[in-house]
Structure 1
Amino acid sequence: MSKPYYITTAISYPNGKPHIGHAYEAIAADVIARFQRMSGRKVRFQTGTDEHGLKVYQKARDVGREPRDLADEMTSHFIAMGEKLNISYDRFQRTVDPDHHSASQEIWRRMEANGDLYLDRYEGWYSVRDEAYYDESELGEGEGGEKLSPQGTPVEWTAEESWFFRLSNYADRLLALYADHPSFIAPERSRNEIIRFVEGGLKDLSVSRTSFDWGVKVPDSDGHVMYVWVDALTNYISGLGFPDETEEWRTFWPCDLHLIGKDITRFHAVYWPAFLMSAGIELPKQVFAHGFVLNRGRKESKSEGNVTDPLALADTYGVDPVRYFLMREIAFGQDGSYSDEAIVTRANAELANSFGNFAQRILSMVHKNMDGKLTAGYEVSDEDSKLEKTVANAIGELRTDFEALNFSEGLDAWMRAVFACNQYIDDQAPWALRKTDPERMQAVLMTCFRLVRPLALALRPVTPEAADKLLDQIGMGENRDFSALDEAGWFDALTGSDFTLEKPQGVFPRLELPSGKGEG
């Protein structure tokens, strides 16, 4: 029995509508979740929204609304994004949910009982946009001389009574964690960055605010709400029912993978494990920090006017082509760039012209030249066996790469198999064999027909809708996990049934650039 698998995305600030970075993280996590399900594992996939903190409070104040009212509206956009992009999460966790407040207060009590919380006064620099405290030594300077955080966001001097967490007590334990479990932080770039940060010394962390009341109330401390990251990080366990001993908690914790953007690695790889150590809770297995998705090489920003609505992108080019592009184009863990031209070029070259064309050609010839009837017992040539081995090896590579989160490399292996299939058709020329050697034509078509199935299955985590439509057309049964690749009798059973291949419908249409889009 395979071990259960629990994956989370970072929960999103709903102070604005989703952008391409939110979509990228959700799609990547969904690909991982679908891949693990197809690998036979019981999967739990959680996402959500981080609705407390000064950023949301100020946004609501600026537009004259109550924070909860604004949070409800903005969260609906993130739920809509998940539905549009075919994100198969099991739980959408909102930090305003009562069970989340209870869980956050329980982890607070456990940290307090461990002697790691004390009341003092905070004075220092705070970035509202990052919801983060920064030391003077970390700050940069803007063009106008203003102080900026390492992320380039404005900071303001803050002074108020605050509860503090004894983060300084955890440096040695954190460094031991990184040394004993090198895969805890990935990729290597992020791991090295965090180790340097902790080796530089840790200061105690301000973990409550009194200047506003939009957040989880600190237990037995009137006027204090928790620092937003204390309650935000707790979502990963509150969604499982913590502190109750629920079946989900017993089954899925510790988490296998926290998937996050690289700009919030410190919170997940330093603060979160320290909080859990303090509270006596087992640590997650891995924090993976993916890169940014850049718009033509530039980070998106409202001031630049280059912010892309991912839902509009999906409307224009289709959900599956956008999902495929992001997983294929960007080496996971690194920054990547996209443009309308790049999406169209990649989707047309690989999905429409290569795989889509291969499947359409084969199914059309079977429908036309064999009346949609499949033939078993044909003579297999060396070329046929060689192609089947090439495809099987490529799918094995894809599965190994996907397990290691190397999506672009896995899809590269898959594309090599698709190219080999197209080369095989060109070399065998079944359209010519129809007149000269009908039996050989059938063998060629049946070889290719059988290979449509593993190629579509391998692509299913990335393009689930298109892959399933194609598998429906070729009579694939309900088992669409990777275990189906071992069902040697599938084709024979199909030929012995009354299955007839209907006129095929293409699942990857060619894309066109909308007028007005492109370089200019």
Structure 2
Amino acid sequence: MSEPFYITTAISYPNGRPHIGHAYEAIAADAIARFHRLNGRDVRLITGTDEHGLKMVQTARDAGIETLQLADEMSSYFIEMCENLNISHDGFRRTSEPAHHEASKALWKAMEANGDLYLDRYEGWYSVRDEAFYAEDELETGEGDEKLSPQGTPVEWTAEETWFFKLSKYQDKLLNLYNEHPEFIQPESRRNEVMRFVEGGLRDLSVSRTSFDWGVPVPGSPGHVMYVWVDALTTYMTGVGYPDTGGMFDKYWPADLHLIGKDIVRFHAVYWPAFLMSAGIPLPKQIFGHGFLLNRGEKMSKSVGNVVDPMELADRFGVDQLRYFLLSDVVFGKDGTYSANAIVTKTNSDLANNFGNLAQRSLSMIAKNCDGQIPAAGEAAEAELQLINELDVCFEDIEAALTGGLFKIDSAIDTIRERLSATNTYFADQAPWALRKTDPGRADTVLYYTAEAIRRLAIMLRWAIPESCDKMLDMLAQPAHAREFQHLSTPIESGIALPTPKGVFPRLEMLENEAEAES
């Protein structure tokens, strides 16, 4: 039986349509999930929407609609984004679902049974935009002495009866966790930030609200709904059947990876493990906080007018072209930047020129000179032995980059790109078009090994750009059941008939308005 691998995205807050940051995270999680599936693991990928909280109530009120109506509409856009970007999730969870309410109540009761919840009164600063409580010494000063959160968002003074979670009780346990399992929080910069925060002292956390009723009701406490982060984080367990702790839950929990944005690391790396420790539930193996995606180097803002709909980018450039750019051009874990020019340049260079042109030229020669069939290969010369050896090493490098908890996605793609370039060099140096005139058998050998290299590279890149790689494998007449990593060592068969070759990666061109905007 294959080893399970459970990965989640953050549970997106749907008070607005999804932006490119949501798309980036979903694509990265999907790429990691697809890699492990191709490597034979039993993968479960869960995503969803965190629909509760005061921010949703206020957004719905401002729009003059019911909160559930807003949640239904906005969640539909996130579901659509996943479909359009080819996200292979195994479940899309909404926190408004009855099953999720039951899971959240079960976690609450487990924490309560451990003596970690008590009723008191909260007076302090709250950011509606962050759905987060902040201490006075965490606040910053804005224009006109306005108090702001560490994220630069407005805060307001809140005073109400609330349930508290004994977060302070878990300070030493959390620090022990971070020290004994340095891989728990990655990358290293995020781990250091969290450790400094916890070492500074933890205060007990307000975990219920009474000023609105849009949320999961607190068991046995009328008028209280759970703090949005309690039930949002529980979604990760709802996705594997909690509170039923048999079957799916036993199979997939604890999660191997929570992939999140760096702005919500505190909730995942401090609150979440403390809740689970309290409830006696195993902790996830890793929290990875990726960076932000910037529009031409600037943080996206509605006031600046540079917020981009990821669906527009996918329609404009192509889904796989967008996926390839985001996965290859952004150093995973750090902030990245994008622009129309960067996407066009990267995809033309790596996909249209390096990959697509190689396939089109070599397969067109096979169609013309080999009756459209994979030719028989003669004895492999040093050039072929080196090519195949480099492809074997390529897969080893990809595995090393994408396992072990570091997820060097861009490095893995760089490795494939380098091998594509090496295959292009092999094809150009061997010049089968010239050999055809003097040594047809040798020309067939070169064409065979070029086709074999394209097959392997397409399989090795399927986790990043699945649709395009499948089109490439279709042109090589490879059956759908022979496209996983275990098939890399099974060489392409001579004599199989190939369809007429078609271009997989059309060249992109900058539009006039894009060039003007970026000049």
Report how far residue 246 of structure 1 moved.
3.8
**Residue in structure 2 matched with residue 187 of structure 1 by the alignment:** 187
Amino acid at match of 1:133: F
Structure 1: distance between partners of 2:401 and 2:362: 28
Letter of the structure 2 residue corresponding to residue 241 of structure 1: G
Report the equivalent of 1:504: 501
Mean alpha-carbon deviation: is it higher for 255-264 or for 414-423?
414-423
Mapped partners of 1:43, 1:312: distance in 2: 30
For residue 426 of structure 1, the aligned residue among 424, 428, 433 is 428
Residue 409 of structure 2 aligns with an amino acid whose one-letter code is F
Q: Displacement of 1:9 after TM fit?
A: 0.4
Q: What is the alpha-carbon distance in structure 1 between the residues aligned to residue 441 and residue 337 of structure 2?
A: 49
What is residue 312 of structure 2 aligned with on the other side?
312
Correspondence for 1:153: 153
180-189 or 418-427, which moves further after superposition? 418-427
Quote the residue 1:462 is aligned against: 464
Alpha-carbon distance in 1 for matches of 2:197, 2:10: 21
Cα distance in 1 for partners of 2:178, 2:2 equals: 27
Structure 2 residue aligned with 1:447: 449
**1:516 and 2:507 are equivalent in the alignment:** no
Contact 2:32 2:463 in 1 (8 A): yes
Deviation per residue, 1:143-179 (Å, 9 max, x gap): 2321111111111111111100000000000001111
Task: Specify which of 482, 485, 492 is matched with residue 482 of structure 1.
Answer: 485
Question: Partner of 1:202: helix, strand, or coil?
Answer: coil
Question: 1:399 maps to which residue?
Answer: 399
| Residue aligned with 2:513, SS | coil
Q: 1:466-514, CA deviations, whole angstroms, 9 ceiling, x for partnerless residues?
A: 0001111102121211000122xx43xx325xx3122201111111122
1:380 pairs with 2:380: yes
Alpha-carbon contact 1:395-1:455 (below 8 Å) kept: no
- The answer to which of 427-436 and 447-456 deviates more is 427-436
Could you tell me how far apart the structure 2 residues matched to 1:374 and 1:312 are?
40
Correspondences of 1:84-95 after superposition (within 5 Å): 84-95=84-95
For the 8 Å contact 2:332–2:410, the answer to whether it is kept is: yes
Q: How many residues align?
A: 514
TM-superposed deviation, 1:390 = 1.5
SS of corresponding position for 2:231: helix
CA distance in 1, matches of 2:356, 2:377: 27
What TM-score comes out, normalization by structure 1 length? 0.97
SS of 2:160 mapped into structure 1:
strand
**What SS does structure 1 have at the residue aligned with 2:125?**
strand
| CA shift for structure 1 position 2 | 3.6
Give CA-to-partner distance per residue, 1:415-452, whole Å, 9 cap, x none: 11111111112111111111122111111111101111
Is the contact made by 2:118 and 2:164 (CA closer than 8 Å) also made in structure 1? yes
Which runs of 5 or more structure 1 residues have no equivalent in the other structure?
Answer: none
Q: Is the 8 A contact 1:327 1:462 kept in 2?
A: yes
Instruction: Determine the structure 1 residue equivalent to 2:360.
Output: 360
Distance 1:54 1:486 in 2: 55
| Superposed counterparts of 1:32-51, under 5 Å | 32-51=32-51
Residues 328-377 of structure 1: per-residue CA shift (max 9 Å, x gap): 00110000000000000000000000011111111111111112122334
Deviating 4+ runs (over 3 angstroms): none
Query: Displacement, 1:399?
Result: 2.2
Q: Which residue pairs with 1:495 in the alignment?
A: 494
Distance in 2 separating the partners of 1:146 and 1:218? 33
- Comparing 81-90 with 110-119, which one deviates more in the overlay? 110-119
Which amino acid letter does the alignment assign opposite residue 469 of structure 1? K
> 2:377, 2:420 → 1: CA distance?
25
Residue 272 of structure 1 corresponds to 272
Report the residue type matching 1:517 in the other structure.
E
- Residues 62-104 of structure 1 show CA distances to partners (whole Å, capped at 9, x for unaligned) of 1111100110000000000000000000000000000100110
Structure 2 Cα separation of the partners of residues 246 and 321 of structure 1: 41
> What SS does the aligned partner of 1:266 have?
helix
Give, in whole Å, the separation in 2 of the partners of 1:512 and 1:154.
42
The residue type equivalent to 1:406 in the other structure is K
User: What do the CA deviations read for 1:37-71 (whole angstroms, capped 9, x no partner)?
Assistant: 00100000000000000000110111111100110
State the TM-score, normalized to the length of structure 2.
0.98
More displaced, 144-153 or 78-87?
Answer: 144-153
| Residues 253-272 of structure 1 mapped to structure 2, 5 A cutoff | 253-272=253-272
Task: Name the amino acid aligned to 1:513.
Answer: M
List runs of 5+ in structure 2 lacking aligned partners: none
Q: 2:258·2:286 contact (CA, 8 Å) conserved in 1?
A: yes
Q: Structure 2: how far apart are the matches of 1:246 and 1:313?
A: 42
Aligned to 1:20: 20
Tell me if structure 1 keeps the 8 A contact 2:364–2:501: yes
- Give the Cα separation in 2 of the matches to 1:246 and 1:16: 36
Alpha-carbon distance in structure 2 between the residues aligned to 1:502 and 1:101: 52
